[in-house]
Amino acid sequence: MRPLELLVIAAGAAGLLVSLAPSVVPSILLRLVPPVALLTAVVQLLVERPRWQLVPAYALAVVVAAGSAWRGRNGATADLGQRARWTAAAVGVAWLGVAVSLPLLMPIFRFPIPRGPHGVGTLTYSWVDERRLDPFDGGRHRELMVQLWYPATPSPSAPRAPYLDDPAALEPLARLLRLPPFVLGHLGLVRTNAVRGAPAVDGVPSFPVLIFSPGRGGYRQHDTLLVEALASSGYVVAAIDHPGAAAGVDFPDGRRVTFDARMADDVFVDGMVGALAEDVRFVVAQLEALNRSDPSGVLSRRLDLDRLGVLGLSLGGEVAAEACLREPRLRACLAMDVWMPPTVVASGLNQPLLLLTRDAASMRLEGWSPAAVARTLGTMRAVLRRSPGSVWLLQEPGMFHADFSDASLFSPLTRRLGITGPIDPARAREVVAGVSTAFFDAQLRGRSGALDGLAARFPELLVERSH
């Protein structure tokens, strides 16, 4: 919890104690503690900003202060009887338990500091494709929000960028998960390791570039752990919010495009993969323009687009593979935990491809249907057999689908609720970042031995490889 959150709860607990036992508490504490509890709550609201998980703590401070005021008006003789005191104590302890538990179970978490040698900067762009109509809304041109993370000069004292600018954009995702729309609102208070507009790191002429495509109903930041690890290791990563496929996309003119309900249907999704792959191709063109002249002045002539790769999770993995089939400038592809599109299954890929997933037993444990398990692993193995280029299929036992994203940071309950798998969350994060970095180091930086060390680092990985 944040410092003032701890103070709010501690002050509320102290106020509850003096309220339940006024006869044994020094009179000065009886007068001071309740208003201090209320004042602490007000200060926290103003300084750290409120979140719904603290509502029970705020309410406790108000009740404690109100009870103190009531006693002040009615005198000490208005103290409760013994049975009422025991009832009030039981209710108060339960209330305090909820006030402590909620912010602990849904914390304002911290992203682990990336292990790479560089700091991380970030910039966000709105790009309109004047050559294409929006496949979800044929009445306007396709417009994308794209966020870039890049190697930056470390700046320990600079303010960190928020995880989300407006968490209300994730309300459609909460509804998809059958949760109240406000439940993810606190993610706007989470800070990343990135600094907005930070100067790009000196001493490196240009950086290899990766394009990231997120999952269905997701958002461009949902693999910030991985993206920051790659950026700190020397890559520029451009993450796309695909309007219609993403939970919600906010544009500079105030528009919000929410998740298209048709995307809940796998047949409809299969028909949209090509259109989303064209988003990737459009971003390649925009990155070329950005490299010529970045409006922010940060990345001009710093992008090495001869070393260009693509990666994606879930639907984003399908999109990444399809984009490689259509765009030869993409030199390497990483697809995580998803079946391959029929076009890629039919012909394979010329580019090196890494398929990162988990074993069939882990998929079944998560609750995936036999058809989904068979389609995922079957299409992956078909691409492995048919691709002219090199293909690696890596399976990490014990992972669930959400383990490939930032989800394990959201709550210590993710494993108990079956959202993430039985694997240790830190291990899952290490596998995703370690495998991804090694693959792109090998394919885009010429570090041919980078993948060889994975067997020693992750001996539990199940490895299949083409020629």
Q: What's the pLDDT at 78?
A: 47
Task: State the Cα angle at 195 between 189 and 201, rounded to 5°.
Answer: 160
Domain ranges of the chain: 3-105, 119-465
Beta bridge partners of 144: 127
Mean pLDDT of 15-29: 69
Q: Residue 14: which pLDDT band, with cuts at 50, 70 and 90?
A: confident
Q: Residue 448: which pLDDT band, with cuts at 50, 70 and 90?
A: confident
**CATH topology for 119-465?**
Rossmann fold (3.40.50)
Q: What's the pLDDT at 393?
A: 97
pLDDT at residue 134 is higher than 50 = yes
Mean pLDDT of 27-39: 77
Lowest mean pLDDT among 24-28, 156-160, 456-460: 24-28
For the stretch 301-323, pLDDT in tens is 999 999 999 999 999 999 999 99
Lowest mean pLDDT among 251-255, 372-376, 392-396, 449-453: 449-453
Q: Tell me the pTM.
A: 0.92
Q: DSSP of 153-213, one letter per residue?
A: ---TTSPPPBS-S-GGGGHHHHHHTT--TTTTGGGGG-B-SEEETPPBPTT-S-EEEEEEE
Distance CA 210, CA 447 (A): 17
Residue-averaged pLDDT of the chain? 92
Mean pLDDT of 231-244: 97
Amino acid at 318: E
For the stretch 98-125, pLDDT in tens is 999 999 999 999 999 999 999 999 999 9
